[in-house]
Structure formats: C-alpha cells, structure tokens
Amino acid sequence: MPLIQPLKMSRGIQSSSWPARRTDRGKPGAPRFDLTSYLDAQTARINQALDRFLPNASTKPATIHQAMRYSLFAGGKRMRPALCLAAAAACGGSDADALPLACAVECIHTYSLIHDDLPAMDNDDYRRGKPTNHKVFGEGIAVLAGDALLTQAFELVAHAKGWARYSHQALLLELTRASGSLQLIAGQVADLEAEGKKIAAPELKYIHERKTSALLCCSVRLGGMSADCSSAQLSALTQFGYNVGLAFQIIDDILDVTQTTEQLGKTAGKDTAARKATYPSIVGLEKSRRLAGQLTQRAFAALKIFRGRAAALEAIAQFLLTREK
C-alpha cells in the first residue's frame, strides 16, 4: 500500500485538481499532517540557524556579508533544508544535529542562484521576489557572495557532529560530489550548451538529474546521515530524493510557462525566451504533469521502509508536486 493516496494518473492529473492547495493528502482515516505549520516552524528554525552561523552584516568587509545575507534571506522556500530535517526525523534523528547540514545545502543552493542570475549565465533581474544580487551589489560582489556562500557551506559541515557511520570526510564527499563538476555544475554546463538547440528527453533528463536532483537528493541523504541512518535507510532516501528532484524540475519548467513573474518571484517565461529545452516544450504540459506525478509516486514508494515516520517527507513531496511558485 502506498503511504499516501495515489494520484489518479490514467489520463494525467485532472486540471480541476491542478494546482492543489498547500496541504498534504493523507490516507483516509489517517491523522492529517499540518504541512503549513510544519514548514513555518522549520523555516523559522533554519533562518535562525543561518543567522547564527553567518558573519553578521556589519562584519568587515561589510559589503560581502550584506550581499550574502541579502540573497540568503530574500524569501526562498527553504525546501532543501526542510527536506534535510524531515529526512533526519524519518531516521530518528534531531533537528539540532541536522541543522548545520541543512544550512550548508541552503548556502550552496543560494550561491547557485546568485551565479545563475549573472549576466554571463541566465542574466536575470529578479529572484525570490527581489532584484537579483548583481543588480543591487554589482557583478563583482555578486560573484564573490556566491563564492563565499559556497565556502561557508563547507565550514558548516565542519560544525556538524560527525557520526559513527558518517565521518566528516563522508559528509564533505556527499556535499562536494553533489555540487561539483560531475553534478550541479555539470547540469549547468549541459544546460548552457543546450540553449537554442533541439535536445531529446534523455539529454534533458541528464541535465535535470544534475542541475536539480543531485542537490535535493544530497539534502535528504545528509539528513539521514545526521541520524546515523542504516544503509537501507540511506538507499531509500536516495530513491526518494532522486525522484522528488526530477519531479521538482519538471514542475519548475511547467510553472515557468503557466505562472506570472509576480506569482513566481522570478522572471516567468525565461525558458521559452532563451529557447531552452524543457519537458513542456518537448512532451507538452499534460504529459509533463503526468511524469511529475509518476516520479512523486516513486518517491512515496521509497518511503515504505520508514513505517509512518516519514509523514513530513511525504507531505513535502506532495506539496512540491502541487506548488504554485
């Protein structure tokens, strides 16, 4: 039995159910998981920890610390750190132990967005509902703010406890592999090189696996590691994170063509303008939605091993499938 009621996908997700509200879809009779309260509480916890870990805005050189904090606290959804904490909980761990790793992932994610927005990359003026970092601080400082956030992430790993099964070396390898030239950067390179070209679905999947899924997957794996999880639990989290990551990027591509700039807090319609290959452009909107639903079902199936302790992971995956921004 899947942990949450399966979506009806015989003819794709029905338009009346798309997009759904920000709530979970529990089994009939099962206690409802209040995702809104959960995410609000975790976001506050993550923001507090980030604020504590980062040099304050007046620390010399103040410009760089202001620029780092500007993007970090601009109002991101905090999905990667929330997933990290939820994975820790599924494996019997604590928020306190997982927080340095959750914050590390958010620092890497924010760095990637700052650099992605630069004129040399996607050249965007708007992110997280605000002018992009380089628009406020200039290109030089934006490059450095991204570099500093990336470096900060590794310092945060050093603040983690280290566990019997997972040493600091294992944690560092996890983060460096997900964000290095074989994953996050590889995805971005392939994305840049594919611009304006016709590519097929397997190449697009290659990009999504690296550009998006790798860091999402790393987030849940690090959460599990912070709970000294078993290898079976780590494999389950890997399956979950991989599939949620792929679904996340398909939804992101759908939202790019269905939502407005105001709704998204970032420039809508960028993919079409840049002639980027996306699932909607290759297979159409309905099939893209169906694919994202199927990937989310696979993610749910991976959670069976946690026997009811993965309610937060499940609810976040459902929310990511039905989100509107």
Contact 257, 272 (CB under 8 A): yes
Q: Output the 3-class SS for 252-302.
A: HHHHHHHCCHHHHCCCCCHHHHCCCCCHHHHHCHHHHHHHHHHHHHHHHHH
Nearest approach in angstroms of CB 95 to ligand GRG is 19
User: 148 is written with which tokens?
Assistant: 């500093």
Q: Which is nearer to ligand GRG, 130 or 161 (CB)?
A: 130
For residues 320 and 65, give the distance between their C-alpha atoms in angstroms, rounded to a whole number: 31
Nearer to ligand GRG, 126 or 306 (CB): 126
C-beta of 68: minimal distance to ligand GRG in Å?
15
Q: Tell me the two tokens of residue 30.
A: 């099962």
Question: Which is nearest to 187 in space by CA: 104, 276, 74, 299?
Answer: 276
Minimum distance from residue 76 beta carbon to ligand GRG (Å): 3
Closest approach of Cβ 153 to ligand GRG, in Å? 13
Q: How far is the CB of 170 from ligand GRG (least distance, A)?
A: 23
Closest CB to ligand GRG among residues 233, 318: 318
- Whether 303 contacts 166, CB under 8 Å: no
CA distance 187 to 177: 13
Residue numbers at the binding site for ligand GRG (CB under 6 A): 76-77, 79, 109, 112-113, 115-116, 128, 184-185, 188, 211-212, 249, 252
Q: How far is the CB of 92 from ligand GRG (least distance, A)?
A: 27
Of the candidates 207, 214, 211, the one whose C-alpha atom is nearest the C-alpha of residue 174 is 214
Q: Which residue is nearest to ligand GRG (CB)?
A: 76
**What is the nearest approach in angstroms of ligand GRG to the Cβ of residue 230?**
29
**Which one-letter DSSP state was computed for residue 213?**
I
The span from the CA of 224 to the CA of 231, in Å, is 10
State the distance between the two ends of the chain, measured CA to CA, in whole angstroms.
30
Q: Which is nearer to ligand GRG, 107 or 113 (CB)?
A: 113
When the beta carbons of 76 and 93 are compared against ligand GRG, the nearer one is 76
Strand-pairing partners, residue 131, are 126
Please identify, using beta-carbon distances, which residue of 212 and 259 lies nearer to ligand GRG. Answer: 212
Q: With respect to ligand GRG, which residue has the nearer C-beta, 107 or 227?
A: 107
